[in-house]
Amino acid sequence: MPELPEVETIVRGLRRLLPGRRILDVRLGKTDFIDDPVQLGESLPGRRIESISRYGKFIAFHLACCASNASAAVAEVAGDAASDCASKTSRVHLLVHLGMTGQLMVRGAAESAPPHTHVTFVLDDGRELRYTDVRRFGRMLIVRDSEIDAFRDRLGVEPLEITEVEFARRIGGRHARIKALLLDQHVLRGMGNIYVDESLWRARIHPARCGDALSREQLGALRRAVRHVLETAIRLRGSSISDYVDAEGFPGRFQLRHRVYQREGKPCARCGAKIRRIIVAGRSSHFCPQCQPTPRAPKRGRKNARAKKQKR
DNA sequence: AGCTCTTCCTGAAAGC
DNA sequence: TGCTTTCAGGAAGAGC
């Protein structure tokens, strides 16, 4: 399941392979994960890939306009704003979210495409950029140049860039479980189940703790843990659990460093206690019952257990 | 505001 | 052996 480190690894791979290439054609298979398949098919051919970036778990392909100056001028005089994308007189951005099982790979056109290949971008150098997604939990959409900043800003803050003050405000100021907050892409963008569990273990915080119940020290430790876990995972090119491979088809190695994720019943690397798995915020959550103590007020008896939580 | 449940989808694994 | 059921999970939406 691609999260921030996997997506970052894929983006770095794609950056070596794609900028400067022109998209000649788009071939579509199943399209129920594409916001507007017709627009996707019509507005991309002819465009050149300028650059590639990452917004949380989204991969953003920045595509140049492809009209000549003359025809661009004609289109502008015609005031054809509605078909702005299709007329190709301005940049657009192709955004790809890999969901659970999405893969983007650059392959020679002669190589046969794997099953569940739903979008093929034919490139001008005899290769193809292929999107494969078994479960189709991914998403693909075109965003106009005038709307890309707003799209990005609707997402949360990059966890590798967030300041201590901003982290305390976004996490410490919320009365929701820390697990839910870290998974919420409008709070921080890019964290998923693996890296949330690993970060909480490292910071010794139970996943069911509330954001506003954390001390300043704990918030600081959590921010550092998130950074450390993500940076280490990027260095090891992500975690390969089931079918993740990067843009060149290679698996990552961070799964070898997992301390809690999918290690239920195995000993904690710090204290030896057995790792447990519970459901928090609807997600399976792995933690060490000894290093990450259960929050004080259990869900059951919330009658008069609230008065205490003001202190910190 | 935040929680839980449901939906989408498929293949792997468990259960019978 | 072979069929059926369960489960996993990112994100959005409904309902409480």
In a domain, A308, yes or no: no
Residue A292 sits in a domain whose CATH number is: 1.10.8.50
Question: Angle, to 10 degrees, between the axis of helix A216-235 and the axis of helix A4-17?
Answer: 40
In a domain, A98, yes or no: yes
Per DSSP, A149 falls in state: H
By CB atoms closer than 10 A (0-12, 13-18, 19+), residue A111 is exposed
Total count of domains within chain A? 2
CA–C1' gap, A60 and C14, in angstroms: 31
Shared domain check, A9 and A149: yes
A240: how many CB neighbours lie within 10 A of its CB? 18
* A169 Cβ contacts chain B strand, under 7 Å: no
The answer to whether residue A301 scores a pLDDT higher than 90 is no
- Which of A98, A123, A153 delimits the end of a domain? A153
* Percent of chain A whose pLDDT exceeds 90: 65
Q: Which of A72-76, A195-199, A226-230 has the lowest mean pLDDT?
A: A72-76
Range of the domain at A171: 164-299
| Average pLDDT along chain A | 85
Which of A2, A5, A159, A207 is labelled catalytic? A2
pTM: 0.88
CA–C1' gap, A49 and C3, in angstroms: 49
Mean predicted confidence (pLDDT) in A132-136:
90
Which of A47, A57, A88, A263 is labelled catalytic? A57
Shared domain check, A145 and A168: no
Residue A241, CA: closest nucleotide via C1'?
C8
In a domain, A121, yes or no: yes
In a domain, A310, yes or no: no
Shared domain check, A132 and A233: no
Residue A83 sits in a domain whose CATH number is: 3.20.190.10
Shared domain check, A125 and A253: no
Shared domain check, A185 and A272: yes
CA–C1' gap, A135 and C4, in angstroms: 21
Answer for the pair A253, A237: CB distance below 8 angstroms, yes or no.
Answer: yes
In a domain, A159, yes or no: no
- Answer yes or no: A6 catalytic: no
A256: how many CB neighbours lie within 10 A of its CB? 9
